[in-house]
Amino acid sequence: MAVAALPSNRPPWLQRRGTTTATLTIPARTGHRRILRDIFVQGGAAGTYIQIQVGNVVLQRIYPNLTQAILVQSLAGKVGIRGLLWWLGTLIPDFPYPNASEDEDITITHSGSPTRLDAYFEDITEGDVRSKVVPGGSLATRHFIIINLSNDAILSATGPFGFRSLDMPPGLTPFTGDTAIATDARRLAAGQRVTAYLIAGDFPIPGGTSRVTRVHIFDEQIEMWTSENNEGLFVDPSVANELAFDLDPLEGFILPQPWVLEPNRLYTFRGDYTDDGVNHPAANSQRLFLVGIREFLGV
């Protein structure tokens, strides 16, 4: 009969690591799998982002510390012990936490100059510590994803505009085409499916009375959530942005039923804008985020 491992032979379940530089590395360790449970950012300009990389594969780009869509916060902004990733793990069934095999580092990189980067990670020795295709692994077919959309040009005239800028690392977009495309309508790539559980938006007022007031999201020809009158989602930050997101306290447009984006279907993302003739939002300042899971089908 095998003798149970003594507690001293097992690594503690939860580990943490922090840095005051722009790069935080959770190093590979032979015989161990490292699972990223959470990330925290303190400081850094509003337009900067963090990227999560496992081995040589960039898995995600996230914009933290914005005005209304506060996706990633400092260690002080949590739901209990949980930040964004760990909280999503309570929301999304079988959440595929980013994880690294025994020969891969997990690297979190900030595009600016943060005050701190911090992470919680799980360190395990049980099971297959070599595979890269387990959910959340560097070569997996199921990943956590945030689709980052924004206005591709300055807004200077009252009327509709498109979220035409797709700000994703090369190879990460689930839509056909890989970089910013001058259209607000995008077709999901063949062989992929995205299930959205949360929608967040950040719409800072540039000054005066200029502001984005509504967001319209279409699945083919049907407007989601306001299909009876097509009024869109209300995001006027001078009144209430219903797509605002925060963990402390928890608020957000959490979908009661997940929205499944299917391969080859056309999805359109538009906004309504009111201009006061003086103050104009800069390009890539009005942001829309779809948070969920991407799957590669038939692999």
pLDDT tens digit string along 107-159? 999 999 999 999 999 999 989 999 999 999 999 999 999 999 999 999 999 99
Domain identity same for 133 and 172: no
User: End-to-end CA distance of the chain, in Å?
Assistant: 40
**Which residues have C-beta within 8 Å of that of residue 155, sequence separation ≥ 6?**
161, 210, 212, 273, 275, 280, 281, 286
- Are 28 and 97 contained in the same domain? yes
pLDDT of 145-184, one tens digit each? 999 999 999 999 999 999 999 988 888 889 986 555 567 8
68, 184: one domain: no
Same domain, 153 and 284: yes
Count: domains in the chain: 2
Is the same domain home to 185 and 272? Answer: yes
Note down the domain range covering 119. Answer: 14-140
Average per-residue pLDDT for the chain: 92
Please check the confidence at residue 1 and state whether its pLDDT lies above 50. Answer: no
One domain for residues 84 and 211? no
Q: Are residues 130 and 149 both part of a single domain?
A: no
Task: Render pLDDT for 195-238 as a digit per residue (tens, 0 to 9).
Answer: 999 999 999 999 999 999 999 999 999 999 999 999 999 999 99
What are the structure tokens assigned to 53, written together? 């990389």
Report the candidate in 4, 75, 15, 65 with the shortest Cα–Cα distance to residue 39.
75
